[in-house]
Structure 1
Amino acid sequence: MSWPEGIEARPIDKGDVEAWAALMAAKEKVDQDGENYSPEDLSEELDLPHLDLPRDSLGLWADGRMIGYGIAHVATSVVDVDRVRAEGTIDPEWRRRGLGTALMHWLIRRAGELHAAKHPESPGQVGAGTNSDNVSAISMLERLGFKPERFFFDMRRPLDQPVPEVQLADGLRLASYDPAYEESLRQAHFEAFSDHWGWTPPTVEAWRQRSVGARAFRGAQSYVVLDGDTVAAYVNCFEWEADTEATGVRELYIGQVGTRRAYRGRGLARATLAKVLAEAAQAGYERASLGVDADNPTGALGLYERLGFTTHKKFTNYQLPIRSDV
């Protein structure tokens, strides 16, 4: 692919994380997605085991600045559809010059290559998400043939509000996360999310890197419901220090909430979330946030609303079928 004169296009590596963080900060000022990243956060992203950085990533540079980037993420397994996730952005100062469209063409082509190499036996899609208020991004995706497929809500709750006390059934107990629970937690998560849209079981390494092994994971603020040695339900929490620095608000992000199927309908998620919220307030957090699928099959949206969460932003996941000739 040819790029305009003065634009250098090359794969991203660990030496680029400072420039990448600056690009993401410029993006956030305009797009207001509620996402802030430090160079250390982004360095961790480049360690994801499924990424082949020389082939799956692209950085765009001008005058020594990273002005755009794209990364294609392929799943290690497929349940129904091979969804290759495309992420990227263009620096707001460099938008409306065709760079975003060109970058998305590159991502679509790379997604087709990954699908053909990894999961050609399954139907394939390119997936891309955007803030539902981002008119320019939506317009670009629709021009390229993307269609909206799924909707997600970003929800927030101030922690100066009272938290209801919720009791567990006899024989069950709440405990903050301990590394001894890691394998039982993983099994609970895989079971809890197996009926969710877009779920594909990651490798153990990938799951750990995205959860209990992540630098943003906060074990002291994460809780599990134990039935003997079995994790019956759980809430995994995270804190991005770059968010606090950018917003001045210390926020606890509730990243994963799940209940094993045999334990559903017993109020375990509500009890665990109530404990997390109460303890977060005691620990000095000012706000809790989370993301939820609008069509979550477990009724999570209603649960969060009853606990005082309100919708802050809406995001749309778009999809484009991968053609066999891509």
Structure 2
Amino acid sequence: MTTIIYDHDIQTKQFEKLFIIRPAVLDDAEKAADLFNAASRAIGASGIETAESIRFEWSEPEYDLATSSLAFFTPDGQMIAFQEVVDYSTIPVRPRLWGHVHPDYWGRGIGTYLVNWAEKLAHRVFDRVPADARVVFTVGRNAKNRSAHDLFIANGYLPTGQAWQKMLIDLDETMPIDPPAPDGLRWVTMTELNDTRKAYSAHREAFRDHRGFVEEDFEVMYKRWSAFMLDEKYFAPDMWYMLMDGDAIVAYAFNWRENDLNPDEGYVAQLGVTKAYRGRGYGKAVLLKSFHEQWKRGKRKVSLYVDGSSLTGANKLYMNAGMHIAESYESYEKEMRPGKEYSQQG
């Protein structure tokens, strides 16, 4: 049996005859939005990417678009493929490889080329992880995208059984209940608390046993979280609802006024319960509070994202509150080096 060896350099020369290949720049955001949306429409996925949201993601403080991305353009300037490597954790033991190919260009080997390019680039993490660390490269796909499954399997990635799920509830014209604070607790918004460091500390505690969590310096993680959650486009302090026991935040739901992929939906960006307070119904309380407040602001749909294999059973909480799975995104991984597991895996 003959073994076919993939030669990246030969493929590069062949593709360079047909396409302009270079890292993406911020001014490419409109073209990227067109590409991402075309790929989503082709598989029947929901959500509309905007140039604004893409520029926001590409401008994250620790992300370097110039050294972490590659894009294909036709001679007339259309972006027809994009790939990136996200590895800005201070202990990047699970770099994420993510990309899209325009459906008009499927079946030409571009996806295989980009996965190989990304793997080669992602090897840079070995200079930044402990010598004994297990290193795993990760990819993911919308569950509707069968061709991506085939691409990943062909390149040695295996399904993890973990799926990120978009949960959605359709609210009717009857206002959802406004849940009272459980006995001994009180409701507080971020407008009243005015302490985002305290809020992040509670979130970090609640997600410390979340699958994939890697322990990093508090200041590093707070800065990364703040750049996203406190940006003026998203930050709505009057919609951050917290249950407090004395001075301690024990449960929270940090809401946005809309899901940036589906603006007609209210969005629960982050929700959690600290470990010592789980199993008392506090997660459901902050979720119902979110439904009530989003409804008051005119939203008749509310969405959030959750690990479908959550170690805390969060997905079951959301389903019991009336939400359903609207989209599912399946995870795959390839072990590049065995060793000590530095990320939370249950």
Q: What TM-score, normalized by structure 1, do the two folds share?
A: 0.90
2:138 matches 1:127: yes
2:22 matches 1:16: no
**Residue 56 of structure 2 corresponds to which residue in structure 1?**
44
2:248 matches 1:230: yes
Assess, with a 3 A threshold, how the Cα gap between structure 1 residues 163 and 224 changes in structure 2: closer, same or farther: same
1:77 partner amino acid: T
Count matched residues.
316
**Residue 268 of structure 2 corresponds to which residue in structure 1?**
254
Q: Structure 2 residue aligned with 1:287, among 281, 286, 301?
A: 301
**Residue 79 of structure 2 corresponds to which residue in structure 1?**
66
2:283 matches 1:269: yes
Distance 1:210 1:18 in 2: 21
| SS of equivalent to 1:82 | coil
RMSD: 2.1
Contact 1:17 1:42 in 2 (8 A): yes
Of 186-195 and 1-10, more deviation after overlay is shown by 1-10
Paired residues for 1:62-141 under 5 Å: 62=74, 63-78=76-91, 82-113=93-124, 115-121=125-131, 122-141=133-152
2:229 matches 1:211: yes
Shift of 1:58: 1.0
Distance 2:234 2:109 in 1: 35
Contact 2:178 2:292 in 1 (8 A): no
Distance 1:223 1:283 in 2: 15
**Residue 247 of structure 1 corresponds to which residue in structure 2?**
none
Bigger Cα Rg: 2
**Residue 7 of structure 1 corresponds to which residue in structure 2?**
19
Assess, with a 3 A threshold, how the Cα gap between structure 1 residues 96 and 214 changes in structure 2: closer, same or farther: farther
| SS of equivalent to 1:22 | helix
Shift of 1:35: 3.3
1:264 partner amino acid: R
Q: Structure 1 residue aligned with 2:164, among 132, 152, 159?
A: 152
Distance 1:16 1:70 in 2: 13
- Percent identical among aligned pairs is 28
| SS of equivalent to 1:152 | strand
Contact 1:37 1:240 in 2 (8 A): no
| SS of equivalent to 2:328 | strand
2:224 partner amino acid: A
2:283 partner amino acid: A
Shift of 1:56: 0.8
Q: What TM-score, normalized by structure 2, do the two folds share?
A: 0.85
Q: Is there any run of 5+ residues in structure 1 with no aligned partner, and where? A: 245-249
Distance 2:318 2:114 in 1: 37
Shift of 1:75: 4.2
**Residue 26 of structure 1 corresponds to which residue in structure 2?**
38
Of 269-278 and 23-32, more deviation after overlay is shown by 23-32
Contact 1:222 1:236 in 2 (8 A): yes
2:27 partner amino acid: G
Distance 1:20 1:68 in 2: 8
Q: Is there any run of 5+ residues in structure 2 with no aligned partner, and where? A: 1-8, 339-346
1:102 partner amino acid: Y
Contact 1:208 1:214 in 2 (8 A): no
**Residue 189 of structure 1 corresponds to which residue in structure 2?**
203
| SS of equivalent to 2:180 | coil
